[in-house]
Structure 1
Amino acid sequence: MDRLLFFMWRVWRNPPSRTALLVMLGALALSIGLVLIERGLGWPDWLRADRVPRQRLPHL
């Protein structure tokens, strides 16, 4: 929580440029959109990360 408050204080004291603000808002909108798609429609199987069994090296 302290890190978030420090970040907000820094942004309040030194506002970002318009380009940086648009990039931050775009990243926020993209992440919120992905969460809404995942929650609403589900996540496609081809995007799932499955655990792959670790191969053991033979002892020499």
Structure 2
Amino acid sequence: MERLIFRLLPRLAMWIRRPPSPRRMLIIAIVVAAALAIAGIERYVGWPEALTVERLPRNPVPQ
């Protein structure tokens, strides 16, 4: 988590000095909203069983 914060600090400082264009801000807002919507659906509705990956054995026995 600390690495992520230290990687984002220079970008945030750059955004404060030179704010992105309104179009880029709209794109960023749409992406963040979509990510939050997907996370909310996954949390409250659940993950579909068809998209769940089953673990395979580490050393499969040849037949």
Q: In the alignment, which of 3, 9, 24 is matched to residue 13 of structure 2?
A: 9
Aligned-pair distance for 1:2? 1.3
Distance 2:15 2:30 in 1: 17
TM-score (norm 2): 0.71
Identify unmatched segments of 5+ residues in structure 2: 58-63
Distance 1:33 1:49 in 2: 22
Q: Please report the RMSD computed on the Cα atoms of aligned residues, expressed in angstroms.
A: 1.8
Identity %: 34
1:8-53 Cα shifts (integer Å, max 9, x gaps): 1011111010110000000000001100100000012233344578
Greater relative contact order structure (CA < 8 Å, 6+ sep) = 1
Q: In the alignment, which of 37, 44, 50 is matched to residue 46 of structure 1?
A: 50
Runs (4+) of structure 1 exceeding 2 A deviation are: 45-53
Distance 1:29 1:38 in 2: 14
Identify unmatched segments of 5+ residues in structure 1: 54-60
**Cα distance change, pair 52–20 in 1 and its aligned pair in 2 (3 A):** farther
Aligned length: 55
**Cα distance change, pair 10–49 in 1 and its aligned pair in 2 (3 A):** farther
